[in-house]
Amino acid sequence: MATSPDRSRIRLTNISSRAYEHPADRGALTALRSMKGFDEVVKRFFGMVNMRSLRLMHLATAVRVDERQFPDVYNYVRDAAYTLDLPEVPELYVRQDPKPNAMAIGYNKPFIVMTTGLFDLLDPEEQRFVVGHEVGHILSGHALYRTMLLWLINLASRIAWIPLGYVAVGAIIAALEEWHRKSELSCDRAGTLACQDPEAAKRALMKIAGGSRLAEMNTDAMLEQAREYDAGGDALDSVIKLLQVFGHSHPFAVVRLAELHRWVEEGEYQRILDGQYPRRDEDSEASIGEEARNAANSYRESWERSEDPLLGTLKDMAGSAADTGGKIFDNIAERWRGTGRQDRDGSSSNS
């Protein structure tokens, strides 16, 4: 039974996106946010991508939700922005498309698009989860890197006839796709914090996997599927699983369900609701090296939980990567700080 949509929710005042981000996602974002001049790079990059045209296209071809059009969905996006303390309520468009999908687009003023296929598939509380998921993408600032991924995929298709160029771009794409998959796990958590109904979040992921016949599905059985997939059988199954994720920007739905279930069961969801979360005004103090270590350790911990025979051989490597990566990023961060101090000293001496 879905929870009543008019129940009160805890507002997570000044919550930092670091509270819900997967360690691998958070590590990459912390590093990029700390880089001096990165905002300027962002502006130049988006000079190549006309975001205004995307919004105008949706104004012309989709339905913008407000008090008069899809008013319930309008309330969901307002509630999600309020609960996650987003400074501005983003626009949301419903687009005619039978394929279930939703996305957050843009950088300076991002907006959300939800297809009719997804809208018709989900009940109201499940829709709240999806809207909150997309609001999480906006709070984390994921749109930039997602757009970079799409741009690089398009570039790769154009230079496929140049072997070395294609290999170089392909390696970047593979890394961005891995980040993108982790960012989706992050925002499943954000969506759960927005709707504050973990069971609705799980139902939404089950429907994404198996369609609208929820009465024919069972959460425990789906989690058993996830454990069987994780165990992987023999080494050949392990290799097949690695190959299957290439080219996919999203984790598989059953994997997402298991990851969200574990995050809730381990108590992190409740700790955040209890007010134990990093604040946005503390983001500048986040340690790049520490986040790099956290990212590597998260892989090691997932491999330790896994029964997959191939991943079992990588546990020690992950520990070494955590220590080495943390030291490298600490050194880089110190150099960035040193450059910043020199710039400040230089400007003050000339004034």
Q: How far is C-alpha 324 from the chain's CA centre? A: 25
Q: Which of 82-86, 196-200, 253-257, 307-311 has the lowest mean pLDDT?
A: 307-311
* Most confident residue range from 99-108, 171-180, 240-249: 99-108
Q: Is 134 a catalytic residue?
A: yes
**Does residue 99 contact residue 120 with C-beta atoms inside 8 Å?**
no
pLDDT class for 268, splitting at 50, 70, 90? very high
pLDDT of the residue at 53: 81
The rounded mean pLDDT for the chain is 77
- pLDDT at position 101 is 94
Task: Please tell me the pTM assigned to this model.
Answer: 0.76
Question: For the chain, how many residues are written?
Answer: 351
* Alpha-carbon gap, residue 175 to 31, rounded angstroms: 15
Of residues 246 and 11, the one with the higher pLDDT is 11
The packing angle between helices 163-195 and 71-83, to 10°, is: 90
Distance CA 96, CA 119 (A): 10
Specify the 3-state DSSP secondary structure of 277. coil
183 vs 328, which has greater pLDDT?
Answer: 183
Section 297-313 average pLDDT: 56
Please check whether residue 175 is in contact with residue 142, taking contact to mean a CB–CB distance below 8 angstroms.
no
**Residue, of 307 and 263, whose pLDDT is higher:** 263
Among 51-60, 115-124, 294-303, 326-335, the range scoring the smallest mean pLDDT is: 326-335
Give the burial string for 121-156 (b: 16+ CB within 10 Å, else e): bbbbbbbbbbbbbbbbbbbbbbbbbbbebeebbeeb
Q: pLDDT (tens digit, 9 = 90+) per residue, 144-161?
A: 666 665 666 666 556 555
pLDDT band at 321 (very low <50, low <70, confident <90, very high): very low
134, 184, 259, 291: the catalytic one is 134
pLDDT: which is higher, 312 or 224: 224
Among candidate residues 96, 89, 126, the one with its CA nearest the CA of residue 114: 96
Q: Per-residue pLDDT tens for 164-214?
A: 554 555 566 666 677 778 889 999 999 999 999 999 999 999 999 999 999
Output the DSSP codes for 166-233: HHHHHHHHHHHHHHHHHHHHHHHHHHHHHHT-HHHHHHHHHHHHH-S-GGG--HHHHHHHHHHHHH-S
The pLDDT of residue 5 is 43
* Angstrom distance (rounded) from CA 334 to CA 188: 33
Q: At 145, which amino acid appears?
A: Y
User: Among the listed ranges 126-130, 163-167, 217-221, which one has the minimum average pLDDT value?
Assistant: 163-167
Interior CA angle at 52 toward 46 and 53, to 5°? 105
Q: Does 266 score more than 50 pLDDT?
A: yes
Which carries the bigger pLDDT value, residue 227 or residue 337?
227
Rounded Cα–Cα distance for residues 326 and 321 (Å): 8
Q: How far apart are CA 221 and CA 209, in angstroms?
A: 13
Given this model, what pLDDT does residue 341 score?
47
